């Protein structure tokens, strides 16, 4: 195993007076207010818990890609002597999947255990399975585990798409299946005695339920600068935006559905050059996508767009043709918050039940319906506006950071109540 390094800070500086309730938080990556994916929602959760007055000790699990400058910026932003501090545990790789079961870095687990025991928390909040794994069995205090995408689902679907893109990779499917089974067993073991398991995707409730784990879906906080209602009409030519992390599972799925099934029908409806699809986001699309768009001038690569609102203003809708049946995509929440119409594959509603066809978005289960929804976005501006406004209100009520973080804060309070009851028993 790759050894881990530990940047130790003294626990003696933390408040032991009882004025604050001691909460240990553990997560991978450095939380940031707006840049990134999961680290963004971690930031808003943690910032809310700090405002609640808890004494917080945050263990950050970092690989070499994270700089000390990012850690220092986070500490300056939220750190507070005596009530909030940060400990960094570094490893080149915190785990390896293995052929039959995953293995964690023993040094990292030992370091996490030392810090947890030294802080003596009254409650623990773990963000995702790695944090829960490293702290498994370290202390008996009540804990919450928040889970994003489930590793055994993500790894499995990546292997399926890899085989679709290169049939020679089918030889790896049996070993990938065994590896995913090992991850399922790990989830079941680590989560078996957790007080509360929160999942960011509604479909994860069922997936974990099959493992005997009771989990609850909770809409997560997603910060986006809200826009005023748009007054300018989109251009005459049907124009659409596809954005997100272009190398992730969601985009990988969406590119296949868009290129293989939807695009030919768009040319049948509007003709060559009769429509426009803009690709924006971090990272580069897969090589096969770059090759596929060479003869498709209707598809334009924008790269990373700093002011996304400017592009949304010239689009009829945001395209989310993600047909993989897992995950709750933050790009959808961004579009909802920025008052843009969403046209998505019906499978996206498995992760986000607030996506309702004709109410907060257009949903389509096949390519023909998807193209029909794109046409409706162009041809029926009144309905388009009504759907946009309902989706915006849904974002404000369910996913706005103030609303979403308050729900987790209440859950954490229940941990402290249980911890106090255990101490007095």
State pLDDT tens for residues 188-224.
Answer: 999 999 999 999 999 999 999 999 999 999 999 999 8
Per-residue pLDDT at 171 exceeds 90: yes
Share of the chain above pLDDT 70, in %: 93
pLDDT of residue 3 exceeding 60, the answer is no
Window from 41-50, 99-108, 272-281, 413-422 with minimum mean pLDDT: 413-422
Query: What are 301's two structure tokens?
Result: 């690569």
* Nearest to 241, CA basis, from 340, 336, 337: 340
Which pLDDT does position 229 carry in this prediction?
65
The domains found in the chain, sorted by start residue, are: 4-221+401-424 (3.40.50.2000), 239-398 (3.40.50.2000)
Query: Is a pLDDT exceeding 80 seen at residue 342?
Result: yes
**What is the C-alpha separation between 355 and 395, in angstroms, rounded?**
11
- The confidence score (pLDDT) of residue 15 equals 44
Quick one: pLDDT at residue 11? 47
Average pLDDT over residues 138-156: 95
Q: In angstroms, how far is CA 17 from the centroid of its own chain? A: 37
Average pLDDT, the chain: 92
* Sequence-ordered list of residues with C-beta below 8 angstroms from that of 24, at least 6 positions apart, any chain: 56, 57, 59, 116, 119, 121, 123, 124, 125, 135
**Local structure of 178: helix, strand or coil:** helix
pLDDT (average), residues 256-263: 97
- Sign of the CA dihedral 367, 342, 358, 316? negative
Partnered with residue 197 across adjacent β-strands are: 145
- 12 pLDDT exceeds 50? no
Percent of the chain with pLDDT over 90: 84
Mean pLDDT of 289-315: 93
Rounded mean pLDDT of 365-391? Answer: 97
Residues 6+ apart with CB under 8 A from 404: 44, 218, 219, 220, 221, 222, 398
The band of 284, judged by pLDDT with boundaries at 50, 70 and 90, is confident
What local confidence, expressed as pLDDT, does residue 227 receive? 66
pLDDT tens for 25-37 read 999 999 999 988 8
Cα 236-242-245 angle, rounded to 5 deg: 160
Does the pLDDT value for residue 6 go beyond 80? no
- Read off the DSSP letter of residue 238: -
Tokens of 145: 């585990």
Supply the pLDDT for residue 419: 79
pLDDT tier for residue 20 given thresholds of 50, 70 and 90 = confident
Average pLDDT over residues 342-347: 98
Closest CA to 199 of 79, 81, 350: 350
Q: Lowest-pLDDT range, 6-20, 159-173, 297-311, 406-420?
A: 6-20
Residues 297-316, mean pLDDT to the nearest whole number: 93
Q: Check residue 190 and give left, alpha or beta (phi > 0: left; psi -120 to 50: alpha).
A: alpha
Nearest C-alpha neighbor of 195 from the set 142, 146, 122, 147: 142
Tell me which residue has tokens 């090992």.
182
Provide the pLDDT for residue 7: 62
Sign of CA dihedral 177, 181, 184, 186: negative
């Amino acid at each position: 195993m790759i050894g881990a390094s530990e940047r130790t800070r003294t626990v003696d500086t933390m408040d032991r007076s009882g004025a604050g309730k001691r909460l240990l938080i553990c997560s991978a990556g450095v939380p940031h207010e707006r840049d990134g994916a999961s680290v963004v929602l971690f930031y808003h959760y943690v910032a809310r818990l700090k405002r609640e007055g808890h004494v917080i000790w945050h263990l950050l699990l970092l690989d070499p890609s994270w700089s000390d400058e990012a850690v220092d910026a986070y500490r300056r932003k939220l750190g507070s002597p005596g009530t909030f501090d940060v400990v960094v545990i570094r490893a080149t790789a915190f785990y390896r999947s293995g052929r039959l079961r995953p293995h964690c870095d023993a040094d990292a687990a030992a370091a996490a255990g030392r810090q947890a025991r030294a802080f003596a928390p009254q409650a623990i909040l773990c963000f995702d399975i790695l944090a829960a794994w490293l702290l498994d069995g370290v202390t008996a205090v009540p804990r919450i585990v928040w889970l994003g995408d489930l590793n055994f689902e993500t790894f499995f679907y990546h292997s399926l798409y890899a085989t679709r893109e290169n049939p020679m990779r089918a030889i790896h499917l049996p070993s990938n299946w065994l590896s995913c089974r090992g991850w399922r067993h790990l989830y079941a073991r680590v989560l078996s005695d957790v007080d509360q398991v929160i999942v960011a995707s509604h479909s994860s409730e069922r997936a974990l339920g099959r493992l005997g784990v009771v989990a609850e879906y909770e809409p997560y906080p997603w910060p986006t600068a809200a826009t005023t209602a748009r007054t300018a009409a989109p251009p005459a030519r049907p124009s659409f935006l596809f954005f997100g992390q272009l190398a992730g599972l969601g985009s990988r799925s969406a590119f296949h559905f868009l290129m293989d099934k939807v695009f030919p029908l768009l040319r049948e409806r509007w003709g060559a050059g009769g429509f426009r699809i803009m690709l924006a986001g971090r990272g580069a699309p897969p090589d096969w996508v770059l090759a596929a768009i060479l003869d498709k001038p209707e598809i334009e690569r924008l790269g990373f767009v700093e002011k996304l609102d400017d592009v949304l203003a010239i689009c009829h809708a945001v395209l989310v043709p993600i047909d993989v049946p897992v995950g709750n995509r933050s790009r959808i929440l961004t579009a909802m918050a920025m008052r843009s119409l969403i046209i998505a594959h019906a499978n996206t509603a498995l992760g986000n039940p607030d996506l309702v066809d004709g109410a907060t978005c257009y949903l389509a289960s096949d390519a023909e319906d998807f193209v029909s929804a794109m046409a409706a976005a162009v041809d029926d501006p009144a309905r388009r506006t009504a759907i946009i406004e309902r989706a915006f209100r849904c974002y404000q009520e369910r996913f706005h950071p103030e609303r979403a973080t308050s729900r987790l804060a209440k859950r954490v309070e229940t941990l402290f109540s249980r911890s106090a009851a255990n101490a007095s028993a």
